[in-house]
Amino acid sequence: MSARNGSWRESLRCQIENLQHTADNLDGSEVDRAVEMVRRCTGLLIFSGVGQNLVLADKVASTFSSLSLRAVSADPVAALHGGMGLFRPEDLLILISKSGETPELLRFLDACRQVGHSNTLAIHSAPGSTLATSCRGGVHVPMVSEADHLDLAPTASSICFLGLLQSLAAELASAAGLSEAAFRRTHPGGTIGLGPVRVR
């Protein structure tokens, strides 16, 4: 799994292979616990990360919301300047960081814990990291390399985080019995809203 020659084809293959590696090597018990934490959450699911992981948090929160799973994303820096007023103890904070050592995210986590927000879940690629060991639950997302020639840019790691979290959303929506009719009711725009409900 390497994209050292810099070609788009090798980069694409690297991302596909990393996603397969993640699927094959995830700790099922960690994932099951994460699913249970989300299922038991009576408040909001609050996804957060820094940099490209904040963009990822926005996308994942949108996917969860589209499946009638109440979710938002939060910029950890903005949260430290008043945004934490949104949070409640019954919410679940889902924090995304490959290294598990992102300073801004760790400061955010510490601030949340100081005001009683202890329901936290880490999505990371670094067992033993500060984030992984500080959260109540966590999922280690195993991956081999990024998909750029430097092996530095968040490429394959973003695909693996996104794949895992969207898969959790799909499982939770299925378990909750989300129907096609209900899904279409919350998507009145576009071709989804215009399409007829299929009889299965």
The pLDDT score that the predictor gives to residue 34 is 98
Is residue 3 over pLDDT 60?
A: yes
The pLDDT score that the predictor gives to residue 5 is 80
154-191 core/surface letters (b: 16 or more CB in 10 A; e: else):
bbbbbbbbbbbbeebbeebbeeeebeeeebbeeeeeee
pLDDT-based confidence at residue 200 (cuts at 50, 70, 90): low
The pLDDT score that the predictor gives to residue 161 is 98
C-alpha–C-alpha distance, residues 91 and 121, integer Å: 11
The pLDDT score that the predictor gives to residue 4 is 73
Residue pLDDT, tens place only, 142-164: 988 999 999 999 999 999 999 99
pLDDT-based confidence at residue 190 (cuts at 50, 70, 90): confident
pLDDT-based confidence at residue 136 (cuts at 50, 70, 90): very high
The pLDDT score that the predictor gives to residue 198 is 64
8-46 core/surface letters (b: 16 or more CB in 10 A; e: else):
eebbeebbebbbebbeeebeeebbebbbebbeebeebbb
Single pTM value for the model: 0.94
C-alpha–C-alpha distance, residues 20 and 175, integer Å: 24
Fold of 8-194: Rossmann fold (3.40.50)
Is residue 168 over pLDDT 90?
A: yes
